Structure 1
Amino acid sequence: MLSLMEPIRLIIIDQHTGVRAALRVRLDSALGITIVGSVNADEARQLAQSDLQPDVALLGLTGQNDELKEMVELVEQLVQGGTAVLALSSYIDVMARELVLAAGASDYRLKNINTPELIAEIRLLAENHHQERQDRF
């Protein structure tokens, strides 16, 4: 279990500045969650190669197929770097859901998820991911 002294390090990744800002506002007051970044996908790729290592990434998916391949690659890169990924979409897209889950995303949810449920999901993913890391060592 994550201790109370260890905040969940969260990164928000979305192509739309307004969506990132809205998610930040929704999550800024959540106890035990520290937002370490709010970036677009290109910036996230660069950060994934750095020492940032967030516990959880909220990854906003777009509805455009040519960008989906890049999002799947980003999921793989984040997961390989030790980050649990929660994919968020504006609408249900079965193909996108299957691809990001196969790439290692922990879950796929709609962006209209209510704030308490989103916070609970982030905490659950962080806890599960922390436990997986502990089990490896």
Structure 2
Amino acid sequence: MIGLMEPIRLIIIDQHTGVRSALRIRLRSASGINIVASVDADEALQLAPGDFSPDVAVLGLTGRNDELKKMVALVEQLVEGGTAVLALSSYIDVVARELVLAAGASDYRLKNINTPELIAEIRLLAESHHQEWQDNH
């Protein structure tokens, strides 16, 4: 179980440098969250499962259909490695939502989520996913 002494290891994955930077700024003041990497999807797919051992990935989805297949594969890879995935999208896309949730993402939210809610969601996902991972392995 992730305790108060053990920070949540977070990876930010988004295709846009500006979005990654904004998320880092929003989350850097959150106590107990350690951002271990901030990369695009191609870089994330190249990471070995143990490279950062993140507890949670915040994954920004793009509106392009050609990217969706890559995002689904990335969700599967992250979940297989024991990482909870919070998918963020600029707008509601029912197909993308269903595909990433079916691939194992823990939640799908809009990118305009406020910072306290985002931090609470990350903490909740880390705790519940860590417990589920422990129970199954």
Same fold (TM over 0.5): yes
CA distance in 2, matches of 1:95, 1:65: 10
Instruction: Give how far 1:48 is off.
Output: 4.1
Matched, 1:32 2:35: no
Root-mean-square deviation (CA, aligned residues, Å) is: 1.1
CA distances 1:1-24 after superposition (whole Å, capped 9, x unpaired):
421111000000000000000000
CA distance in 2, matches of 1:72, 1:42: 13
State the alpha-carbon separation in 1 of the partners of residues 73 and 135 from structure 2. Answer: 26
Q: 1:52 to 1:121 in 2, by over 3 A?
A: same
Aligned pairs (5 A) from 1:29-108: 29-108=29-108
Unaligned stretches of 5+ residues in structure 1:
none
Query: Deviation digits for residues 78-110 of structure 1, max 9, x if unmatched?
Result: 100110000000000000000000000000000
In structure 2, do the counterparts of structure 1 residues 109 and 55 end up closer, same or farther at CA, with 3 Å as the change threshold? same
Q: CA–CA distance in 2 between the matches of 1:133 and 1:77?
A: 14
Residues of 2 paired with 1:112 and 1:30: CA distance?
Answer: 18
Other-structure match for 2:110: 110
* Unaligned segments of structure 2, at least 5 residues: none
SS of 1:37's partner is strand
CA contact (8 A) 2:11 2:56 kept: yes
Q: Note the C-alpha offset of 1:133.
A: 2.3
1:121 aligns with 2:128: no
Question: Does the Cα contact within 8 Å between 2:84 and 2:129 map onto a contact in 1?
Answer: yes
Structure 1 stretch displaced more, 84-93 or 126-135: 126-135
Task: Find the aligned partners of 1:6 and 1:13 in 2 and give their Cα distance.
Answer: 22
- 1:29-59 Cα distance to aligned partner (Å, 9 max, x none): 0010000000000111112444311000000
2:6 maps to which residue?
Answer: 6
Pick which of 61-70 and 127-136 moved more: 127-136
> Contact 2:37 / 2:52 at 8 angstroms: preserved in 1?
no
Determine helix, strand or coil for the equivalent of 2:15: coil
User: Could you tell me the percent identity over the aligned residues?
Assistant: 82
Match of 1:133 in 2: 133
Distance (whole Å) between structure 2 residues aligned to residue 50 and residue 4 of structure 1? 23
Letter in 1 for 2:89: S
Taking the aligned partners of 1:69 and 1:22, their CA distance within structure 2 comes to 25
Q: Which runs of 4+ in 1 moved over 6 A?
A: none
